[in-house]
Amino acid sequence: MTKANHDASGVHGGFAFGHGYGYAPEPPMQQQQPAYDFAGGNLQGVQMAPLPLPIPVHQQHHQMQAMQQQQQQQVQTAAYRDPATGPLRKLSVDLIKTYKSINEMYYKKKRRMKEPPAAPASNNAAAAPASNNAAAAPATVNVVGNSAAVGGGGGGGGGVNLTADDAPPAAQQNKRDKKAVYNDGYDDQNHDYVVRPGELWLDRYEVDSLIGKGSFGQVVKAYDYQEQQYVAIKIIKNKKPFLNQAQIEVRLLEMMNQYPEASSFVVRLRRHFMFRSHLFLVFELLSYNLYDLLRNTNFRGVSLNLTRKFAQQLCAALEFLSRSDLQIIHSDLKPENILLVNPKRSTIKIIDFGSSCQYHSKIYQYIQSRFYRSPEVLMGIDYGLAIDTWSLACILVEMHTGEPLFAGQNEFDQMMKIVEVLGMPPKHIIEMGKKSGKYFERLPDGSYQPKRPPSAESGGNGAGSRRPVTYRPPGTRLLRDLLGCDQGGPGGRRNGEAGHSPADYHRFLDLVARMLEYDPRQRLRPHEAMQHRFFRRESAAGEQQQQQQAAVAAAAAAAGSSAVPSSMVTSTVL
């Protein structure tokens, strides 16, 4: 039946409605494979009821009565189904709508990619990204109602003033997403922005997916149509404390962006803006973090050669942060905050300066992730740049062994695990700490010993655990044994591998041990670490020569000879 005939005959109440022929029951419909007309959006191929044959006029009255009785019986015995809502027709129509919607979205995105970026409207002039060189001064935030603008103190806004055009269809959004309950339907109950893939921000950034979440907010992968590349966008929670800390992060990142060499060590902040009461930070998109890399090794660790490459880059990064005109303390170095630039290369960058500060403007005392927390922070001693060096040493050991060096379940357990490896802290360090009494007790002779663990903190078995815990005596869990310096690496897994000789391991041990000094003033500084012999590439012949020189020096020292040059003694391999 053609569309014209269908329109002429009509379908009503399950019967064909003809012209001058009265009513007649519709014969059963014959099913056949549907054919779809995607171009026109029509449904073809569904066989409809044929037109009834003419009925004599004198029989119409009796026919009508019989038909009505039959119809009443059918209504009583079975529920009536409208052909327009039948499964086959409904499924076909819905399928057509779905394909049309997909096509529209696809070609709309394709057109948008080809079009040049439009100039911003006058009322959105503040949406222009702030200059990377303009925000050495602290960023400021002005909030009026639901509108906010953020910008560097120097010039160039870097923010967005929300207007009436930005008002969301709150009722519609809440119906679509029940999580959106705050900020006119844009935020969830945790004051995080409700991320919707495919959403377009500022006619420039299209959301691809959510790639991270933390206490600060979220990180999404998005496509930048103006730059024609993917970026990572950090969306700060819509809460004032998080906004204030994010302002500090922006200021520090823009300070670092003034130096060309920063791009080799630190993730690049491209721009930032306020949107729907959230601060958005646009970063370059990087690859996996070092924890992901460890997980891919089944936590067996990476080679000493790769560990060396990471160590050299991280020492250079800390040297950059410690320069006199920056003096930036990262405060949260850990494998998750160190990312590969390319998954097939060893180049890395440091991310997440959300807890960072400058040495002269420290804010918080409770900082650093527990496994990488320095003794001065644990004991409540004034801290400085050296806390990042401590964290770096812990990271390097973990990258090679596959396991955290000090995996404490709480602060007491963390301190005791440090003492097991490094021994007791010096007396003057303990007496400087405001929280030292939490871990150590003074003996009558003036010395200190570890306290017994409280029952609720026994062994890190969880809060409320009553099983007592025992720790090894201070300094008896040797770092050299953890690294497997004389056993072919951790668990003997690197035995016989090139670049994993005892000499290589002893150099690594010396570097890490100097980074793990209790006294931060004695801890190896980044520029000193860069000169460490662990980073010198030496041949096997060179190693053998050093060992021979060491033997000569030891023999001369035993004989009391003073003829051995001091340079020969300093080249002794540990």
Which are the catalytic amino acids? 332
For 143-181, b/e burial (b = at least 16 CB within 10 A) is eeeebbbbbbeeebbbbbbbeeeeeeeeeebeeeeeebe
What angle is formed at CA 239 by the lines to CA 234 and CA 241, rounded to 5 degrees? 95
C-alpha dist (Å) from residue 163 to 125, 148, 167, 487: 12, 10, 7, 67
Tokens (6 digits) for 217? 């907010």
3-state secondary structure of 101: helix
Cβ atoms < 10 Å from Cβ of 8: 13
Tokens (6 digits) for 571? 């080249």
Report the run of H or E that residue 304 belongs to, with start and end.
helix 304-321
CA-closest candidate to residue 439, choices 430, 428, 426, 429: 430
Judge whether 234 is annotated as a binding position. yes
Give CA–CA dist 457/462, Å, rounded: 7
Give CA–CA dist 393/386, Å, rounded: 11
Block residue for tokens 């200190």:
448
Backbone angles phi, psi at 234, to 5 degrees: -95, 120
Q: What is the DSSP string of 243-275?
A: HHHHHHHHHHHHHHHTSGGGGGTBPPEEEEEEE
Give CA–CA dist 269/360, Å, rounded: 23
What angle is formed at CA 389 by the lines to CA 383 and CA 392, rounded to 5 degrees? 130
C-alpha dist (Å) from residue 136 to 154, 326, 385: 7, 11, 21
Annotated binding site for ATP: 234
Annotated binding site: 234
